[in-house]
Structure 1
Amino acid sequence: MRRADELHADALRVVARRLVRSLPDNPTVIDVGSGAGGMSVALTEALCARGGGTVVLVDAVPELLDAATTAARSAATYESDTTTTTVRVRPVLADIATEEPTEFAESAHLVWASNVLHHLPDQRAGAVNLVNALAPGGWFALAEGGLETRCLPWDLGIGEPGLQDRLAAARGEWFTRMREQIPDVVRLPVGWNTVLAEAGLREVTAFSYLVDHPAPTKPVVRDSIEDWLRWRADVTGALTHPADRATVRRLLDPADPAYVGDRDDVFYLQTNTVHVGRRP
């Protein structure tokens, strides 16, 4: 997760600055599902640059919350020639699947939630609960969806060409099954713009940001690509053809000439979509 945060850091800084630009002085920002702290740091830096505020970090995993808190607090002080600006970082150990956000945070000027709601049984209800934590005029920024990550050449020289497309199809099937296996799951048959509008938000729109590390990549990028490929192999399992599983094993084997960590033709290209709306 830290490697992934490093890959996304520059793009997240741009997104964070965009989101906090219109907030009032000394705002409260909630980072729901803060993970290892990639966006937590970006939001903290953005608030420091505009005069301070409070960042509330929410996660259900203590180790992740500790990591995000440490990372955010390391960025919580900004010194210029004339002033020192400090952002308050407040960690909250909570699971939004079972706890109402208004119980631990309310009157937020911005709520950021990235790749969190799709883990909840009722995604629409989860969105409504987060909207309820907003102050009047506050913004909800929901990062869900985008374009599938691309990192492999079409023809790898081993196996059948087009491996990445077949892995993407298998991942889509896995995601459907993952959702179906959640107890008391509720389907979401509409797009996120409809969900946000029906939750009472105004000025609902969306934007996408690009994470682009072209070949040849740095070692940290190749390490992250290896993480991505290993995760894909773990979750898709029997959903892929045995020949493709054999190709993936070769790509993940440091002793194999095709090892992804030694290739200079891998790259990292990802587009993520952020859906935003303002509470009246």
Structure 2
Amino acid sequence: MNQAHPHALHGTQHSHPQKHDTDGQAEILDLDAEVLAEHTASITAWLPLRTAPRRIVDLGCGTGAGTFALLDRFPDAQVTAVDASTGYLQRLHAKACARGLDERVRTVQVDLDDSAWPDLGSPDLVWASASMHHIGDPDRALRNVHDALAPDGLFAVVELAGFPRFLPEGAPENRPGLEERCHAATDRFQAEHMPHRGADWGPMLTAAGFTVEGKRTIAVNIEGSSNEAIGRYALNGLQRIRGAVATELSPEDLSALDELLDVGSPHSILRRDDLAMRTERIVWAARRG
């Protein structure tokens, strides 16, 4: 198994320097979009907008979870989808064509750590879901967003509180707490490589000239018994986590993890009926000052 890219371990719609993405990373983003669709729709409905936006930028769009949620919510809007990954953008474009939405979507490939960003127009709304913490100089990026926005434009920053948890506390029965130990290992790695993960974006937004008009924390707890996508999400995510933490785990933990990941095993994670997707999403809504 290939070494998991750390950016793929914990959330959605990433923009980062990696240009070539595996199907596994894209599948995680697609599953995330499917499972969290209702939560994403609730966030777009909550945004403190004064008028319906006509020009939207999805910053770090990944495979398009936010893009299509925004197109659904604002039927008169055009969305510019921005990401570093050509693979993600190609996947997003194909989805837009399949849904008959290609005339409402423009894709732009850019690394958000580049000193110069392309002209993104003068958007009424900029949406950044699980992308800001990947940026090496977020203060500069926030200023870029502020300067690009139309007067009274809104910037929505959405972050997941780490990669979701799926197993109940006492699972698996032979190695209780395995999932948390896996995440503790990835957290140590990610703290070193992504210092802005888990940041409070409020003060940084204010420092960049924004007025923070709302903050919302949304608890996510979706039962997996009636949603088979959650099992596939758990399997895909834990497969990638295994690639990053294999050398950090005890032999007993690694053996138990491999049993969960063995789709032919009676103990496979896909055969469990007690899965649930648990995490938190935090949203900041900030207006251009």
SS at match of 2:217: strand
- Change over 3 Å in CA distance of 1:230–1:191 after alignment to 2: same
Does the Cα contact within 8 Å between 2:57 and 2:81 map onto a contact in 1? yes
Across the two proteins, how many residue pairs are aligned to each other?
Answer: 261
Report the 3-state secondary structure (helix = DSSP H, G, I; strand = E; otherwise coil) of the residue aligned with 1:135: coil
> Does 2:105 match 1:89?
yes
The answer to whether residue 260 in structure 2 is matched with residue 242 in structure 1 is: no
Contact 2:224 2:231 in 1 (8 A): no
**CA–CA distance in 2 between the matches of 1:5 and 1:32?**
16
Q: Offset of 1:175 from its aligned partner? A: 0.6
Any idea what SS the aligned residue of 1:108 has?
A: coil
Secondary structure at 1:132 match in 2: helix
Contact between 1:109 and 1:135, CA under 8 Å: does it hold in 2?
yes
| Residues 113, 25 of structure 1: alpha-carbon distance in 2 compared, 3 angstrom cutoff | closer
Letter in 1 for 2:276: F
Tell me what 2:281 maps to.
272
| Counterpart for residue 22 of structure 2 | none
Distance 1:230 1:246, change over 3 A: same
Q: Which residue number corresponds to residue 82 of structure 2?
A: 58
* 1:230 to 2:258 alignment: no
Amino acid in the other structure paired with 1:167: C
Moved more, 133-142 or 205-214: 205-214
> Which of 79, 83, 91 is equivalent to 1:67?
91
Which residue type is aligned with residue 232 of structure 2?
D
Q: Deviations over 1:69-122 (max 9, x none)?
A: 333455566xxxxxxxx9722111222111534x32032111111121222222
The equivalent of 1:171 in structure 2 is 186
How far apart are 1:157 and its partner, in Å?
A: 4.4
User: Hey, what does 2:267 align to over in structure 1?
Assistant: 258
Q: Which residue of 1 aligns with 2:33?
A: 5
- Of 11, 22, 42, which residue of structure 1 is paired with 2:49? 22
Residue in 1 aligned with 2:114?
98
Deviations 1:210-260 (A, max 9, x none): 443214243222111111211222223323333222211110012322110
Q: Secondary structure at the match of 2:152?
A: strand
The structure with the largest strand share of the pair is 1
Q: What is the rounded CA distance, in whole Å, between the counterparts of 1:188 and 1:31 in structure 2?
A: 19
Q: 1:188 to 1:211 in 2, by over 3 A?
A: closer
Contact kept in structure 1, 2:44 and 2:70, CA below 8 Å = yes
1:197 aligns with 2:206: yes
Q: Quote the sequence identity (%).
A: 25
Distance 1:226 1:188 in 2: 23
What are the Cα deviations for residues 127-160 of structure 1, in whole angstroms up to 9, with x where unaligned?
2222222111111111124365221022224433
SS of alignment partner, residue 206 of structure 1: strand
Separation in 2, partners of 1:94, 1:136 = 24
Runs of at least 5 residues in structure 1 that lack an aligned partner in the other structure: 78-85, 181-186
Question: 2:197, 2:64 → 1: CA distance?
Answer: 28
Change (3 A) 1:213 1:191: closer
Change in CA separation of 1:58 and 1:209 when aligned onto 2, cut-off 3 Å: same
Partner of 1:40 in structure 2?
67
Say whether the 8 Å CA contact 2:126–2:155 is kept in structure 1: yes
Q: Matched residues in 1 for 2:186 and 2:41: separation?
A: 28
Deviates more, 1:59-68 or 1:36-45: 59-68
Larger Rg: 1
Over 3 Å counting, the alpha-carbon distance change for 1:190 and 1:261 in structure 2 is closer
Distance 2:53 2:279 in 1: 33
**Alpha-carbon distance between aligned partners in 1 of 2:52 and 2:46, rounded to the nearest angstrom:** 15
Return the structure number with greater relative CO, CA threshold 8 A, min gap 6. 2
Cα gap change, 1:145 to 1:127, in 2 (>3 Å): farther
Give the aligned residue type for 1:269: R
